[in-house]
Amino acid sequence: QVQLVESGGGLVQAGGSLRLSCAASGSISINVMGWYRQAPGKQRELVASITRGASTNYADSVKGRFTISRDNAKHTVYLQMNSLKPEDTAVYFCNVDRVWTVGLTWEYDLWGQGTQVTVSS
User: What's residue 1's pLDDT?
Assistant: 86
Under DSSP, is residue 72 helix (H, G, I), strand (E, B) or coil? coil
Strand order in the sheet with 18-25: 3-7, 18-25, 76-81, 66-71
Q: Which amino acid is at 84?
A: L
The whole-angstrom separation of Cα 9 and Cα 77 is 14
CA-based nearest residue to 37, from 98, 109, 112:
112
- Side-chain half-sphere of 47: how many Cα atoms within 13 Å? 29
* DSSP letters for 74-115: TTEEEEEE-S--GGG-EEEEEEEEEEEETTS-EEEEEE---E
Q: Is 82 exposed, middle or buried (0-12, 13-18, 19+ CB in 10 A)?
A: middle
Angle at 26 between CA 25 and CA 29, to 5 degrees: 100
- pLDDT digit of tens for each residue in the chain (121 aa)? 899 999 999 999 999 999 999 999 999 999 999 999 999 999 999 999 999 999 999 999 999 999 999 999 999 999 999 999 999 999 999 999 999 999 999 999 999 999 999 999 9
